Amino acid sequence: MRTFGLIGYPLSHSFSKKFFTEKFEKEGIAEHKYELFPIENIAAVISLIAADNSLSGLNVTIPHKVGVMPYLNELDAAAEKIGAVNCISIKHKDGQSILKGYNTDAFGFQESLKPFLKAHHTHALILGDGGAAKAVKYVLDQLNISYLSVVRTAAPDAILYADLTQELIDKHQVIINTTPLGTFPNVEAAPDIPYHWLKPQHLAYDLVYNPEETEFLKRARAQGAAVKNGYEMLELQAERSWVIWNA
């Protein structure tokens, strides 16, 4: 038996559990299971792993993607540069558990974004500057797309939503929502940007996947922009986790 799971708090809804449970059933891997581990204090991850030798890998979600890092033995180069972990491989050897952290969000975001990019997509606006934005920034750096963060309260290297001008919207033709605004059940919420300045040359990408089309994407599509939600990113990061756990 090999056990995998998701740590975070709270865990009222989990894409990962549904994805991996269905994957194991479809591929006939009856000896594997995927569980939810809602832990409020990240320090509990050590006792969680110590209590179960079948535990072979964990996904990490809000609010522990940064806080889990000091508890790991090793970091993948990308995770170290991003400064956030959403996947942990667990190797049990000689009575010890070796934990290595990865960031598969970056892989999922990059692979789902690339097919939508056009030659004129050279500048991006990142809406929000929380943990999810870390992987987005890393990917944009890899793709040589310059970016500007947009936030609600003043922060270094970022501008406020109120500072968005038509010139900035015209220049930054990729707009990425990394905030939870618009997530079910608050489906009428959307980042406060001047949507009327968007054009068909724009690409709007929302990390939110529930609902399938958020208010952010609806408003962008109404202006003729290309739109993409975060569901494929989730699938890709999950599959990448599976590759890591079986390496």
Please tell me which residue in 17, 65, 100, 228 is annotated as part of the active site: 65
Q: Largest Cα–Cα distance of the chain, in whole Å?
A: 61
Q: Is the peptide bond before 185 cis (omega within 30 degrees of 0)?
A: yes
Token couple for 174: 């990729």
Question: Distance between CA 168 and CA 197 in Å, rounded?
Answer: 10
Element (H, E) at 204: strand 203-206
65 catalytic residue (yes or no): yes
Q: Is 143 exposed, middle or buried (0-12, 13-18, 19+ CB in 10 A)?
A: middle
Question: Distance between CA 7 and CA 63 in Å, rounded?
Answer: 9
Q: Is the peptide bond before 211 cis (omega within 30 degrees of 0)?
A: yes
Strands 87-93 and 74-75: unpaired
Provide the 10 A C-beta neighbour count for residue 142.
Answer: 11
Question: Distance between CA 82 and CA 59 in Å, rounded?
Answer: 16
Question: Distance between CA 230 and CA 232 in Å, rounded?
Answer: 6
Nearest to 207 by CA among 189, 180, 188, 187: 180
Question: Distance between CA 204 and CA 116 in Å, rounded?
Answer: 10
**Residues identified as active-site:** 65
